[in-house]
Every structure is written in structure tokens, then in C-alpha cells.
Chains A and B, each alone.
Chain A
């Protein structure tokens, strides 16, 4: 299949795959920070599973990109600086409290689920196959995080306040998921990757009524529309921790 893409589409797809993979690996890392610290044991187990799934999905996207560019996934994750990462800012923000974590994961899960629903029909077969694989696992994520958002939002005064605070902070950042990069128009025209503005409409049509019936108020803040090359100062801090072992490892080190 890759042989049928011209150079321009191939570059556009490689860029998009990097965005997909970077979102998942950074979100997976933030989720993994809860391991041993979640509010209850069951949730400690659940969030560790979510993290592991997201990192597994990242690997699939990095491998598809490797097929196009020859770039090794480990090299890509552990030996790139923040300026070369293409994740959205939403996933690099510190893990915050449990409400923030569950809401961020929920907003991302809805996006991912709707994206995968469309990607299974991609004209690029490897992408369609990967989406079909990942989609089944995402069912568990969506169900878990939507349950928590609803319960906390409709729970006690404190849990509601924390959920609303999380939404006030996250809502403007979520819009960046739908900011198109330079090659995305060509990908959509070729039926390889869905149109992001249509995806955004579908996402809003899902999350808005859900959040409203959970008695949360969607803020009127200005949406974040900068490109994925722009990051907060939190990303280099995260990468410093995530990459340190790989970077200090000498060629002789054996696990």
C-alpha cells in the first residue's frame, strides 16, 4: 500500500501518525504517574491498564510511521526533545486531581473513538487495520471514564466543584485536537484520514450533551488553536523524567 502514496501524501501521513502516536504516549505517561497513587486500589489497577493500552496504541502508530520513514519507535520516543514532539498540550498538562485525570481521559477517549470509527474506512489499508484493532480496546476506556465523569459531576459538592474546575481548565485545550496540520487537507481529500472539522462537530455533539446532563457548565473560553509544534513548559519536564533511563543507558547495559 505504501508504494501507492506519492511523496507528498507519504510525508503528510507520517506527520499525522506522529501526532497520533505522540498524543497517546504522553497521555499514557501522565496516566502512569498514578500507579501506586490512585484514590482506591481498583482505580490504581484501572488507570495502569489505561496507560498501558495508550502506550500500546502509540507503538502501533509509531510502527506504521516507521514503515514510511524508517524511524525506530524507541529512538523516536526517547531521543527527541520537546520541540520535535507533536502531541497536543492537553495531554502534557500535569496529572492534577482524579477529576481532572478522568475528564481529560474522557475528552480524549471520545475523540479517539470517533476518530477510529472513521479510520476503519481509511483508503490506506494499514491505517484501517490498525484502527479496527484499537477500536475494540477503546470501548473499555470510554465506558470507564464516562462513568467517572458522570459520577463525580453528580456526586458531592466537592466532587462537582473539582470536575467543573477540571472542565474550565481543559475545555480550551481540547480544541487543539482538531487543529489541522499542513498535510491534513490532502490526507482528507485522499480518504486516508478524516476531515478534522467534521470530527470536531461529531465530538462536540457527543461531549456537550453528556457534560450538560452531568450538570457541568461548558466554559466560554477562547479555544486553543495553535499548531502541534507549540508546547507548554510541562512537556520538557515530563520528557526529562520519561527519557532519563534510556539516555543514561550505555550500550553495554542489559536488562
Chain B
């Protein structure tokens, strides 16, 4: 019987598993890891998808399994749940800072109703100006919208509120 890693070790390791579409953001920053269960030799990570059509989910699931194997878990389990639905509010404060540094405007916090946040002022992640406008509510991935900054004349993307 091998020594199973502790919950804390697993959470720390999951900080190193990045979202394949936003490589600066870990799955923990993204808020999609719901629970880590260690019961004897059984280790289960409970995850939830961001957008339900997100093709990165399978890749992330696989990377979580590989990471757990590196930690010495022989048969890691990844469980995917839908309830409660993921919201962009669950991105951590650290995650928001990383998004901004990456040039992706973080989603506004909406506390439950993303509909009211569809027309917010989105500050430019490059120059900080509020003179920006949305050019497309859909972007290069399901979770992004496209904006343009009239101050620094730079197109940028926003992580959409959900």
C-alpha cells in the first residue's frame, strides 16, 4: 500500500494544472475544483465545467488524473458535477489578477444574475482606460468576448460573466 497524498498536497498540486485555453490560470484559480476526497487508497477530485460546450473539460480532466498519478495515486477518480452551476464569480481574486496581467479583462462580479452584467464598463487590461466598447459578445473561445479600447487603440478580450 502506498502512502496517499494529503488533501492539502493535492490542492497545492492542482494549483499547477492550468486551463489549456488560458495558460496562466490554474483550475483552482478558475474555481472549477469543487472537492478533493481522500478515503484510504481512493482519491476523487470533483470538478464542474465552465461553459457546458467547453472542449477543454476533457483535457483538464486528463491533466488532473496525470497530476494525481504523479503524486502516487494509483487509480485517481475525477467526477464531473453540474450542480450548483459554475459562475464566473467563482474565479478567485488571485485568478482575476492573473487574467488581467495576461491581457484578458476579468469578468465583473454579478452575485447571481449575469444578465445585469452584460453591458458593464470593462476597463482595458492594457492601459486601464474605461473608454472601451464591446465589438462582439462572442470570442475565440466560449468564455470570451471581444472589446476595443479607444484610448490605447488596442483590441482585447474579456472573460465573459456567466
CB-defined contacts of B52 to chain A, threshold 8 Å: 53, 56-57, 59-60, 133-134, 137
A52 interface residue, CB < 8 Å from B? yes
In the complex, chain B residues 28-72 whose Cβ is within 8 Å of any chain A Cβ: 49, 51-55
Of B15-23, B97-105, B122-130, B137-145, the one touching chain A: B137-145
Determine how close the nearest CB of chain B comes to the CB of A129; give it in whole angstroms. Answer: 4
A42-66 vs B, Cβ < 8 Å mask (1 yes, 0 no)? 1001101110111111011000000
Q: Interface on chain A toward B: helix, strand, loop, or mixed SS?
A: helix
CB-defined contacts of B85 to chain A, threshold 8 Å: 129, 132-133, 136
Interface residues in A, total, Cβ within 8 A: 26
Contact of B138 among A46, A56, A129 (CB under 8 A): A46
B51–A53 touching, CB < 8 Å: yes
| Complex Cα–Cα for A54 and B53 (A) | 7
B65-104 vs A, Cβ < 8 Å mask (1 yes, 0 no)? 0000000000000000011111100000000000000000
| Complex Cα–Cα for A54 and B142 (A) | 11
| Complex Cα–Cα for A54 and B140 (A) | 16
B136 interface residue, CB < 8 Å from A? yes
B162 interface residue, CB < 8 Å from A? yes
A139 interface residue, CB < 8 Å from B? yes
A42–B136 touching, CB < 8 Å: yes
B8 interface residue, CB < 8 Å from A? no
A55–B137 touching, CB < 8 Å: no
CB-defined contacts of B49 to chain A, threshold 8 Å: 133
Contact of A133 among B82, B137, B139 (CB under 8 A): B82
A121-145 vs B, Cβ < 8 Å mask (1 yes, 0 no)? 0000100011011101101100110
Given the interface contacts A133-B52, A134-B52, A143-B118, does A46 sit within 8 Å of B136 by beta carbon? yes
CB-defined contacts of B138 to chain A, threshold 8 Å: 42, 45-46, 48-50, 140, 144
| Complex Cα–Cα for A59 and B55 (A) | 11
B7 interface residue, CB < 8 Å from A? no
Determine how close the nearest CB of chain B comes to the CB of A229; give it in whole angstroms. Answer: 27
Contact of B142 among A49, A133, A134, A139 (CB under 8 A): A49
Which chain A residue shows the least CB distance to B140?
Answer: A45
Given the interface contacts A55-B53, A60-B82, A130-B82, does A137 sit within 8 Å of B137 by beta carbon? no
A139–B54 touching, CB < 8 Å: no
| Complex Cα–Cα for A48 and B142 (A) | 9
| Complex Cα–Cα for A46 and B85 (A) | 23
A94-133 vs B, Cβ < 8 Å mask (1 yes, 0 no)? 0000000000000000000000000000000100011011
Which chain A residue shows the least CB distance to B51?
Answer: A137
B54–A144 touching, CB < 8 Å: no
Contact of B83 among A45, A54, A129 (CB under 8 A): A129
| Complex Cα–Cα for A52 and B140 (A) | 12
Determine how close the nearest CB of chain B comes to the CB of A57; give it in whole angstroms. Answer: 6
A53–B137 touching, CB < 8 Å: no
CB-defined contacts of B84 to chain A, threshold 8 Å: 132
CB-defined contacts of B86 to chain A, threshold 8 Å: 133
B154 interface residue, CB < 8 Å from A? no
CB-defined contacts of B118 to chain A, threshold 8 Å: 139-140, 143
A132–B142 touching, CB < 8 Å: no
Can you show 18 pairs from A to B with CB atoms below 8 A apart?
A42-B135, A49-B139, A53-B52, A53-B53, A57-B53, A59-B53, A60-B52, A129-B82, A132-B85, A133-B49, A133-B83, A133-B86, A136-B114, A137-B52, A139-B115, A139-B118, A140-B137, A144-B137
- Chain B interface residues toward A at CB < 8 A: 49, 51-55, 82-87, 114-115, 118, 135-140, 142, 146, 160, 162
- Chain A interface residues toward B at CB < 8 A: 42, 45-46, 48-50, 52-57, 59-60, 125, 129-130, 132-134, 136-137, 139-140, 143-144
Q: Known contacts A55-B53, A134-B52; can you find 6 more A-B pairs with CB under 8 A?
A: A56-B51, A136-B87, A137-B52, A137-B142, A139-B115, A140-B137
